[in-house]
Amino acid sequence: MQHRKLASGRPSGTDGSDYSYRMVVDSRYQLVAKGKKRLSRHFIIEAVLLLIGAVFAYLPGTDADSPNTVAYTSVIVSVVSLIIANIGRTRSRSGLLRFYAVVSSIAMLLLIASLAKHHLLLKAIQDSKLWRTGKFDVNDLSALQTGLLLYTVALSVLKLCTIKAIVSLLLNMAPPKKTS
């Protein structure tokens, strides 16, 4: 009976003064765990935005006959690099995260440029006469171009936040420098 009462409280064989010998988790490991969780959320949002980008690439642009192969290719490259980045995140591989940061940034820029060219986004923003000539239907194109503009802004902001999260994670994953 006495032994059961001891088991519910302090472990037997200690008087509580051994706290200085117990292990403490370094704060950078906690920061790495938080960074990985934040990066996981960024990856989920980026996957959704890539799905929206694939829809934009599928929509007919000014040349209805020609598919937007640059946009398709950049979406595929972005998805593959996102899978590689997720492997790097879960296994703490800094090289894979660096690879993702470079490749996905280039693919994102190509996707945005291709979609903007394919849907005449830059020309419509720069030349407001296109809206008045009747060559384009304002009701149809303005919603698509506005959506595309919002999409590009959202993708760019997300990419910048993701790169910032990766840099922060890589700095916390690096071993501490020895002071001599």
Is there a domain that residue 3 lies in? no
Asked if residue 22 belongs to a domain, the reply is no
Residue 154 lies in a domain: yes
Q: What confidence score (pLDDT) does residue 79 get?
A: 95
Domain assignment of residue 7, yes or no: no
Q: What is the mean pLDDT of the chain?
A: 80
Give the pLDDT band of residue 164 (cuts 50, 70, 90). Answer: very high
Establish if 16 belongs to a structural domain.
no
Identify the pLDDT of residue 137.
Answer: 45
Looking at residue 19, its pLDDT comes to 63
Residue 12, domain member (yes or no) = no
Q: What is the pLDDT of residue 63?
A: 58
- At residue 59, the pLDDT reads 78
Question: Is 13 within a domain?
Answer: no
Q: Which one has a higher pLDDT value, 73 or 19?
A: 73
| Residues spanned by the domain of 128 | 29-172
- For residue 19, tell me if it sits in a domain: no
Concatenating the DSSP letter of every residue in the chain gives: -HHHHHHHSSPTT--SGGGGGS----HHHHHHHHHHHHHHHHHHHHHHHHHHHHHHHHS--SSSSS--HHHHHHHHHHHHHHHHHHHHHHHT-HHHHHHHHHHHHHHHHHHHHHHHHHTTHHHHHH-GGGGTSSSS-HHHHHHHHHHHHHHHHHHHHHHHHHHHHHHHHHHHHSPPPPP-
Confidence band of 139 (pLDDT split at 50, 70, 90): very low
79-138 confidence digits (pLDDT tens): 999 999 999 999 999 999 999 999 999 999 998 888 888 777 766 665 555 555 555 444
More confident: 168 or 28:
168
Domain count, the chain: 1
